[in-house]
Structure 1
Amino acid sequence: MSIRVTQGMIQTQTVNALNKNLNRMGSTQEQLTTGRKINRPSDDPVGITYALRYRGELAMNNQYQRNITQANSALEHVDTVLGQVNDLVARVKELTVKGISDTSTPESRYAISQELSGIYNNLLTLGNDQLNGKFIFNGQKTDASPYDGNTAGTIDTDDADILLSLAPGVDIATNVSGNKVFGNAADTDNLFKVVRTLRDAFSTNDAVTARDNMAKLDTRLNKFLGVRSEVGARANRIEMLDNRNQDLDVTLNSLSGKTEDADMAKTITQLQTQQNVYQASLSVGAKLIQQSLVDYLR
């Protein structure tokens, strides 16, 4: 049984073919404009699942990078303050060695006590140091001053860590408690107690008491150096995580690009080919559609 092909069928098929060519060309133009070969889920249902996964991992990686930057800044600041505390403790030791010498006079010891008084006030200032308006030596109680001239050395600071997530399953503390740096209230080598005792001893020309506290100063200094080493170890680990994070970012961006980004040279070639096909189909379609019933009756 033969099928009669009408002029209307020819016109419909021609228009459908033209629309398909136009849609293909429009899709390629969109890829060229956006630079992406996946602009909607229907473009590549399988590829979009990978693309969304890479986007999620990149977003998480970017958050880790922001945390790393914040952790670096916090630890660098803590280390700077610890360096200043270290300089003050070294000066206290130097003055103590000079003051307990038998050659020191009451006048020179009194002068030492005056300098120790200034160092004590500087230690209080460093103990109450802030970063972005938050006290760095009071654990998680960052809104409360940990020390004052009357209670320093007699009360403990908050010991809770401020943790930042720097990688999956990796949380690192970005703070150090004042108890670790200056000592607990119960410690005989609490730095505030020792400096205050040395200050008062030299003020009254009491070399014996000052000599007895020399060992406590050495003990505190050794503990303090351990804290600085711990901060340095954390900084090194953060640097390692930073390098790993940056490498992972490059990898994820590369995978995301291979999945979503269009090959520009290939896309331009495709578009040129599709434009030629569309123009040819327009030309042929125009000739077909021009035929009418009168033409067939001639």
Structure 2
Amino acid sequence: MIGGGRVTEGSIHTRVLANLQRNLAKGAQIQDQLSSGKQINRPSDSPAGTVSALQLRAEARTSEQYSRNADDGLGWLGTLEDTLSSASTLVNRARDLTVQGLNTSTNGTQANEALALEIDQAREALVGYANTRYLDRPVFGGNTADPEAYDRTTGAYTGNTYDPNNVATTSVSRTVGSGVKVRVDMTGPEAFGDDTTGLFKVLSNISASIRAGDNTKLQSDLQDLDKSGNKLKSAISEIGSRYNRITQMKESAQDRLLSVTTQLSDIEDIDLPKTIMDMQLQQTSYQAALAAGAKVIQPSLIDFLR
């Protein structure tokens, strides 16, 4: 015959205290979750969840950086677009003046001088547009470190030349997606032409032809001005397409960030109503454990001998 195991007062006390301790530990864990609003407060709470959360946080930081890069790129391209639009309006005005200068039968010397002077002022204003800066960098200077892209006196280009075969070192780009880089600058020659046949040289020629009353030369200059105007319009179109590309990539990065944030919340954040209910149940369980312990731990012989 096998007798039952001996249960002592000490073993009862130990088991009751251990059960109460586990109950308190569970309550403390729920309290931590309610206080922080997070299911995971330390890696030991959920090792697998911690790994997933770290990966999602890294992806969120990447998406945020893409969005910031896109904002900077849009700043560059917006400045370019506004400047080129203003320059195109001024070129149209210069064309009107050139056509007016062809009317030698009605223009006098003083009138031609006034027209030439206004052409000179338009050229000066366009050189100022070509030296437009964004964040203290000339947007038409390529990746130059100089403060200006054009010499204000001569109108000569002083910035860096764009090389399509060496984009990384001859242009300004922004990374707006995984493996996606978009160029955000435009060199002066791409928009205004070179120093020998470009817009500024054409306007100088027009001014000289008007003063000289040379209609034959002025007619040729007008054709050159139209070519420069078309080049300017093509540049505006290209900038617009890049702007749209970056805008789309920014929206994609923001959508991805929203998705990652939602996934991260599912892993880390608590279900508040459920956690409050768990806390109430845990408090009830603890109170029941205390009551049960009080009944199990009966007075001992030592208590009667006192």
CA contact (8 A) 1:137 1:176 kept: yes
The 5 Å alignment of 1:17-166 reads: 17-103=19-105, 104-153=107-156, 157-159=160-162, 160-166=170-176
Cα shift at 1:76: 0.9
Of 141-150 and 68-77, the range deviating more from structure 2: 141-150
CA distance in structure 1 between the aligned counterparts of 2:53 and 2:209, rounded to whole angstroms: 71
Matched, 1:244 2:247: no
CA distance in structure 2 between the aligned counterparts of 1:156 and 1:98, rounded to whole angstroms: 34
Deviations 1:1-45 (A, max 9, x none): 643222111111111111110111111111111111111111111
Which residue identity is paired with 2:149?
A: P
CA contact (8 A) 1:128 1:137 kept: yes
Task: Assess, with a 3 A threshold, how the Cα gap between structure 1 residues 157 and 88 changes in structure 2: closer, same or farther.
Answer: farther
Root-mean-square deviation over aligned CA pairs: 1.9
CA contact (8 A) 1:201 1:207 kept: yes
CA distance in structure 1 between the aligned counterparts of 2:159 and 2:46, rounded to whole angstroms: 61
Aligned to 2:294: 286
How many residues in Structure 1 have an aligned counterpart in Structure 2? 295
Instruction: Specify which of 261, 285, 296 is matched with residue 269 of structure 2.
Output: 261
3-state SS, counterpart of residue 22 of structure 1: helix
CA distance in structure 1 between the aligned counterparts of 2:78 and 2:299, rounded to whole angstroms: 83
CA contact (8 A) 1:155 1:185 kept: no
Task: Assess, with a 3 A threshold, how the Cα gap between structure 1 residues 198 and 111 changes in structure 2: closer, same or farther.
Answer: same
Cα shift at 1:142: 4.1
Deviations 1:63-114 (A, max 9, x none): 1111111111221111111111101111111111110123333222111011
3-state SS, counterpart of residue 37 of structure 1: coil
CA contact (8 A) 1:153 1:191 kept: no
Which aligned runs of 4 or more in structure 1 are off by greater than 6 angstroms?
none
Cα shift at 1:154: 6.3
Deviations 1:117-155 (A, max 9, x none): 111110111111111211111011143312124442466
Identity of aligned residues (%): 32
CA distance in structure 2 between the aligned counterparts of 1:204 and 1:185, rounded to whole angstroms: 22
Q: Specify every segment of 5 or more residues in structure 1 that has no aligned partner in the other structure, as ranges.
A: none
CA distance in structure 1 between the aligned counterparts of 2:80 and 2:285, rounded to whole angstroms: 68
Structure 2 length-normalised TM: 0.90
3-state SS, counterpart of residue 185 of structure 2: coil
Aligned to 2:193: 183
Cα shift at 1:204: 2.9
The 5 Å alignment of 1:1-16 reads: 2-16=4-18
Matched, 1:172 2:175: no
CA contact (8 A) 1:136 1:142 kept: no
3-state SS, counterpart of residue 165 of structure 1: strand
CA distance in structure 2 between the aligned counterparts of 1:155 and 1:210, rounded to whole angstroms: 28
Structure 1 length-normalised TM: 0.93
3-state SS, counterpart of residue 138 of structure 1: coil
Q: Specify every segment of 5 or more residues in structure 2 that has no aligned partner in the other structure, as ranges.
A: 163-169
Cα shift at 1:156: 6.1
Of 46-55 and 287-296, the range deviating more from structure 2: 287-296
CA contact (8 A) 1:31 1:37 kept: yes
